[in-house]
A = this chain, B = another copy of it.
Amino acid sequence: MSKTETHIDPRITESRHRVLTAALEELAEVGYGAFAIESVCRRSGVAKSTVYRHWPGKLALIADALRLLNVQPGSADAGGRPTDQSPWERVVAIVRHLATAFTGSMVADCTPALVDAAARDPELRELFHGYNAERRQTLVDAVADGVATGEFPGHLNPDLAAAALAGVVMYRRLMTPAPLTPTEAEALAAMVLGHRPPQRGPGVP
């Protein structure tokens, strides 16, 4: 179910997709302070009048780019989640998606600029914190469901657990030379949730 920005979402037109992609490129390259709509138009080859018809300014443009170019598995934007997934499978899928998105995507390349801009610009901060909260909620919900079904320990705090899971991905990407690999997602989730996944039958010695 993973999805990258190289696939065009059928709900957005090709020119809109080019503008949103160019917006993330501009943001990653020059940062939020120096971000210029003119430059986005140049990068995308789309006319300024068209861009301004869709987005009143850089904040709206960046908000749309973040939402539409990085669709979470199981989210409404991805068409909802498969009903046969256990809370554990949902958590692993989300953390794996996050790790994948944070290793090679344009959204990941924008994160340092977004972190810095959030410290300087109140509007961008509100957008960024809201975006993070919305994303984190799918993880909080999956953990809370696992606590409710008894799959995860009853004392687990879903908010703290979700911050730990997302926090490792962010920490490894921004603060170290070694981003979390998608294959580490399961070990991370098992540690934070105190969960022993069921064995998949006897292994070959």
Binding site for B on A (CB under 8 A): 28, 31, 109, 112-113, 115-116, 118-120, 125, 128-129, 132-133, 156-157, 160-161, 163-164, 166-172, 174-177, 180, 184, 187-188, 191-192, 194
Those 10 A-B pairs whose CB atoms lie nearest each other, nearest first: A167-B167, A167-B171, A116-B116, A112-B119, A167-B168, A132-B175, A112-B116, A164-B164, A115-B115, A164-B168
Q: Once the chains are docked, how many angstroms separate the CA of A129 from the CA of B177? A: 7
Q: Do residues A176 and B116 form an inter-chain contact, with CB atoms below 8 A?
A: no
19 new A-B contacts, CB < 8 A, other than A163-B176, A166-B175, A192-B192, are A112-B116, A112-B120, A115-B174, A118-B174, A128-B175, A129-B177, A156-B191, A160-B168, A160-B184, A161-B191, A163-B180, A164-B167, A164-B168, A164-B188, A164-B191, A166-B171, A167-B167, A167-B168, A170-B174
* A139 shortest CB reach to chain B, Å: 12
* A127 shortest CB reach to chain B, Å: 12
A188 and B170 in contact, given A112-B119, A115-B115, A129-B175 (Cβ under 8 angstroms): no
* A52 shortest CB reach to chain B, Å: 28
Q: Do residues A157 and B187 form an inter-chain contact, with CB atoms below 8 A?
A: yes
**Chain A's interface: helix, strand, loop or mixed, by majority?**
helix
Q: Do residues A176 and B129 form an inter-chain contact, with CB atoms below 8 A?
A: yes
Most B CB atoms within 10 A — which of A31, A112, A156, A194? A112
Closest B-chain residue to A133, C-beta based? B176
A164 and B177 in contact, given A112-B119, A115-B112 (Cβ under 8 angstroms): no
Q: Do residues A175 and B168 form an inter-chain contact, with CB atoms below 8 A?
A: no
Q: Once the chains are docked, how many angstroms separate the CA of A142 from the CA of B113? A: 33
A156 proximity list for chain B (CB < 8 A): 191
Listed A/B pairs (27) with beta-carbon separation below 8 Å: A28-B119, A31-B116, A112-B116, A112-B120, A115-B115, A115-B174, A115-B175, A116-B116, A125-B177, A129-B175, A129-B177, A160-B184, A160-B187, A160-B191, A164-B164, A164-B168, A164-B191, A166-B171, A166-B175, A167-B168, A167-B170, A170-B171, A170-B175, A174-B174, A191-B192, A192-B192, A194-B194
